[in-house]
């Protein structure tokens, strides 16, 4: 039986600090029995600091750090070789991955051919992890699923069993974000999976079981990829350095821009966000510049508090699902 499910969803173009939110929720013991990753594959990059060591994970849900059963859900794609490397890195740090990792049998396999094909991609600037080709083959009904990949047999799982055994409380962990969603993002500068809260439900959980939806944003925007997103300026260079805005998967510079309130409101409404978290407020405070776009106009504030208050007012006025709004500063480390 499923008691409830909460969702963490990224309201921008990824890299908003979803992991940080997941960690703070998982620290409260017994709130969840399972963590489910609901979309994407090795394109995601999640930086973890554990025992003073930095590790970047791509496939493995962060629940393993807390000894929780952690499921790669049917909306995801996996490359077995890369997954095994990641398992090894985490096990070296003393994190018990093999004991807790489960992979739904419907997960699609990223093959060497997919990686090779994506490796030559230049049009939109992908992460070269085979994402476009693997989802193409899935929808073309030509894909290979985990249930037919002997390398993954030890992890094989059917997510439907969560409806049958025990009293399950699930935390859904999304990858990428609203602005990269295959339907809602700036097509074709998008990824090939669904990155909204609806995507969590596609992993086999009925809508009425959703309790809270945590929407995560930064107080400025970043984007990695081929389109022109940033208007070069010194303050964006400063934000990039202070905020360590370099891709966790590819090391590429993240392009920076000011918060777009209209985009954010749309994202909150479509995802049905109840709890809104803004990360990295400290970075704007360090550069001491507070700006956002609203209906195409750039607004500027002298003080952090005025900036926060104005954003809060706009969100309360335009987003009926919202219950809580929180502005958060670093540290990012757990
Ligand atoms: P793909 O998902 O590798 O096909 O890349 C498509 C677009 O999404 C590119 O612009 C990538 O840089 C971007 N992207 C994919 N995954 C992430 C992520 O986890 N964070 C930020 N950008 C991402
Ligand atoms: Mg990331």
Give pLDDT tens digits for 104-118.
Answer: 999 999 999 999 999
pLDDT range class, residue 46, cuts 50, 70, 90: confident
Which atom of ligand 1 is nearest the CA belonging to 15?
A: 20
Beta carbon of 43 within 6 Å of any ligand 1 atom: yes
pLDDT range class, residue 331, cuts 50, 70, 90: low
Q: Over 90: is that where the pLDDT of 211 sits?
A: yes
Q: Which residue is closest in CA terms to ligand 1's atom 11?
A: 126
Lowest mean pLDDT across 12-26, 45-59, 229-243, 318-332: 45-59
Beta carbon of 255 within 6 Å of any ligand 1 atom: no
| Catalytic (active site) residue 163 | no
Beta carbon of 186 within 6 Å of any ligand 1 atom: no
pLDDT in tens, 123-143: 999 999 999 999 999 999 999
| Catalytic hit among 34, 46, 58, 194 | 46
Cα(184) to ligand 2 centroid in Å equals 19
pLDDT in tens, 52-98: 888 889 999 999 999 999 999 999 999 999 999 999 999 999 999 99
Beta carbon of 175 within 6 Å of any ligand 1 atom: yes
| Catalytic (active site) residue 46 | yes
Q: Over 80: is that where the pLDDT of 324 sits?
A: yes
Beta carbon of 180 within 6 Å of any ligand 1 atom: yes
3-state secondary structure the chain: CEEEEEEEEECCCCCCCHHHHHHHHHCCCCCCCEEEECCECCCCCEEEEECCEEEEECCCCHHHHHCCEEEECCCEEECHHHHHHHHHHHHHCCCCCCCCEEEECCCEECCHHHHHHHHCCCCCCCCCCCHHHHHHHHHCCCCCEHHHCHHHHHHEECHHHHHCCCCEEEEEECCCCHHHCCCCCCCCCCCCCCCCHHHHHCCCCCHHHEEEEEEEEECEEEECCCCCCCCCCHHHHHHHHHCCCECCCCCCECEEEEEEHHHHHHHHHHHCCCEEEEECHHHHHHHCCEEEEECCEEEEECCHHHHHHHHHHHHHHHCCCCCEEEECCCCCCC
Cα(129) to ligand 2 centroid in Å equals 14
Q: Please provide the CATH number assigned to the domain covering 4-327.
A: 3.40.440.10
Per the prediction, the chain carries an average pLDDT of: 95
Beta carbon of 132 within 6 Å of any ligand 1 atom: yes
Mean pLDDT of 277-302: 97
Cα(274) to ligand 2 centroid in Å equals 22
pLDDT range class, residue 333, cuts 50, 70, 90: very low
pLDDT for the residue 243: 96
What residues sit around ligand 2, an ion, with C-beta below 5 angstroms? 15, 45, 248
Q: Which residue is closest in CA terms to ligand 1's atom 8?
A: 191
Cα(202) to ligand 2 centroid in Å equals 22
Mean pLDDT of 267-277: 98
Question: Hey, where are the domains in the chain?
Answer: 4-327
């Amino acid at each position: 039986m499923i008691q409830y499910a909460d969702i963490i969803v990224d309201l921008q173009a990824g890299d908003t600090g979803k992991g940080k939110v997941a960690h703070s929720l998982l620290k409260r013991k017994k709130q969840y029995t399972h963590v489910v990753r609901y979309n994407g594959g090795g394109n995601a990059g999640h930086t973890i600091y554990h025992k003073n060591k930095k590790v970047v994970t791509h496939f493995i849900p962060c629940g393993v750090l807390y000894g929780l059963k952690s499921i790669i859900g049917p909306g995801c794609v996996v490359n077995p070789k890369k997954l095994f490397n990641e398992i090894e890195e985490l096990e070296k740090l003393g994190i018990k991955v093999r004991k807790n990792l489960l992979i739904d049998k419907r997960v699609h396999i990223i093959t060497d051919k997919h990686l090779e094909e994506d490796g030559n991609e230049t049009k939109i600037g992908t992460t070269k992890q085979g994402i476009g080709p693997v989802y193409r083959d899935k929808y073309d009904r030509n894909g290979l699923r985990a249930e037919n990949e002997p390398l993954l047999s030890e992890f094989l799982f059917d997510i439907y069993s969560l409806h049958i055994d025990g009293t399950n409380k699930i935390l859904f962990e999304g990858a990428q974000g609203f602005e990269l969603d295959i339907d809602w993002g700036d097509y074709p500068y998008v990824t090939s999976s669904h990155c909204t809260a609806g995507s969590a439900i596609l992993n086999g959980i009925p809508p009425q079981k959703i309790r809270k939806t945590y929407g995560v944003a930064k107080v400025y925007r970043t984007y990695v990829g081929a389109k022109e997103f940033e208007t070069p300026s010194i303050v964006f260079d400063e934000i990039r350095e202070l905020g360590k805005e370099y891709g966790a998967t590819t090391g590429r510079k993240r392009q920076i821009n000011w918060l777009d309130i209209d985009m954010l409101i749309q994202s909150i409404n479509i995802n049905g966000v109840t709890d809104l978290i803004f990360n990295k407020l400290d970075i704007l405070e360090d550069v001491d510049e507070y700006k956002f776009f609203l209906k195409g106009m750039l607004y500027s504030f002298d003080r952090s508090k005025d900036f926060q208050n104005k954003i809060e007012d706009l969100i309360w006025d335009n987003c009926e699902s919202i219950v809580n709004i929180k502005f958060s500063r670093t540290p990012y480390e757990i």
